Structure 1
Amino acid sequence: MLRFGPDTGPVVVVALPLFEEANRTRAFAVSILRALAERGIAGALPDLPGQGESLLPTHETDLAKLRTGFAAAVASLDTPAFALAIRSGALLDIEAQVTARTHLSPMTGADLRRELVRARQASAREAGEPFDPASLETATAPVGLAGNLISPALLAQLSDATPSTEQTRTVRLATEAKPADAKLPGSPLWRRAEPDNDPAFAVAVADDIAQWIATCAA
């Protein structure tokens, strides 16, 4: 777990999105936490089971393990915590004992599953290989989707997984049509082919989180 900022006071714990989007947004998340540290707010970026440097293979994780891992990371800090969940990371902070949540461009599990299936269909067409999405319903072995081996259990769990709405502030890009508590100018880094960053967007997100923390503490 990476730590930023002071050793005392509230800490913002980041839940990265699942699968490849975690790689694309990690530098961005670090930029947000560094910007928060400059504002005197601590931050933490844990690697959850099946993510990053975790020893658990991706195909052996599921929502229960990921949620338990995030909750354990928050509890280990032993200080008031706030969650920052990016995209499908909003599915992972449900069990954590946090004061409040910021969800950045959150998505449902069904949305994520559809994106994974579309990516698999596109790669199958390019390779001239057959792929029937219905096969996912009966799969018993890990399935290759969007460059990752994913367990059938996790795929099934995604179908009806939704983000928490408890003490949650939703922030989206200015270009997104879905409703939000705030919309900020920035780049959809999770859509990039390679990991990238948007420092100005990171500062805007950090400013919004700092204001949200001040509001919750008032």
Structure 2
Amino acid sequence: MISHYDWSGGREAMLRFGPDTGPVVVAALPLFEEANRTRAFVVTILRALAERGIASALPDLPGTGESIVPTSEMTLMRLHEAYEAAVDTFDSQGRHCYGVSLRSGVLMDTLGLLYGRWYLAPQSGPELKRELTRIKRAELGREAKKLTEYWYYDNDLPEDAADPPVEIAGNLVPADLMTELSAALLYPKKNECLPRRTVRLETDPKPADLKISAAPLWRRAEPDNDSELAVLLADDIAAWVRQCEG
């Protein structure tokens, strides 16, 4: 069902699935175009979780989906605060929340009061920044050689003037967010006091708790879905949540 949550910036929409009691999976989509390509896939996972008796929620975070905040005003702090507020919706009811994040969605859950984190193909801030820069280079073609390390800042503006957002693949990305991404690293798993499970594609050489053979939906030109993979991942998430719950 379509619900909502409130945070300091206003009221945002939130899809909810599954029972009204027990643990809740709070999902976070990747940023920008990858969100459009994977939203249907994540919703399929959440519906499969509901069939397995696990509740879930997919909040629109500021600057994403149908948010009241435009993408051009997105900041990591706003994303963190809103995610925390979405989690608090359930925590205030005494329900344990578990983060399930895809790609750069892992950057959202910093402040959320979670009992565990489940990641699919996690992407750090610097990795996302490099990807956005690569896309911009492809858009510029020959002009790309003019891009410097901080190409998204306008050096011709007065010092006290705010830099305008830069357009990348049709998205207006705030210049300051690009800098924020440089320092947005994943919390080392060895220092994590909460359960964390990482799932990666077989083609990814980085360590993982589970490797799967699948196509990266986030790389496709158009939004797509993979119901078989969604069921496989829903089984994994459901088993992991139940294990965490004891």
Query: Fold match, TM over 0.5?
Result: yes
Name the structure 2 match of 1:75.
88
Cα distance change of structure 1 residues 177 and 53 upon mapping to structure 2, 3 Å threshold = same
Which residue of the other structure, out of 190, 193, 218, is the alignment partner of 1:190? 218
What does 1:1-218 correspond to in 2, within 5 Å?
A: 1-77=14-90, 78=93, 79-125=95-141, 129=143, 131-136=146-151, 138-139=153-154, 140-164=163-187, 165=189, 166=192, 167=194, 168-218=196-246
Matched residue type, 1:194: E
TM-score with structure 1 length normalisation?
Answer: 0.95
Give the drift of 1:124.
0.8
Matched residue type, 2:151: L
Query: How much identity, in percent, do the aligned residues show?
Result: 53
Matched residue type, 1:184: I
**How far apart in 1 are the matches of 2:139 and 2:175?**
20
Whether the 8 Å CA contact 1:13–1:43 is kept in 2: the answer is yes
Whether the 8 Å CA contact 1:84–1:102 is kept in 2: the answer is yes
Q: Could you say which structure has the larger radius of gyration?
A: 2
Alignment RMSD, CA only?
1.4
Count of matched residue positions in the alignment of Structure 1 and Structure 2: 216
Q: Larger deviation: 180-189 or 87-96?
A: 180-189
TM-score with structure 2 length normalisation?
Answer: 0.84
Whether the 8 Å CA contact 2:87–2:112 is kept in 1: the answer is yes
Where does the alignment leave 5 or more consecutive residues of structure 2 unmatched?
1-13, 155-162
Residues 125-159 of structure 1 show CA distances to partners (whole Å, capped at 9, x for unaligned) of: 1xx54551435363422111232111111111100
Give the drift of 1:89.
0.4
**How far apart in 2 are the matches of 1:137 and 1:194?**
26
**How far apart in 2 are the matches of 1:68 and 1:81?**
16
**How far apart in 2 are the matches of 1:65 and 1:92?**
9
**How far apart in 1 are the matches of 2:34 and 2:59?**
15
Name the structure 1 match of 2:4.
none
SS at 2:211 equivalent: strand
Name the structure 1 match of 2:6.
none
Whether the 8 Å CA contact 1:170–1:182 is kept in 2: the answer is yes
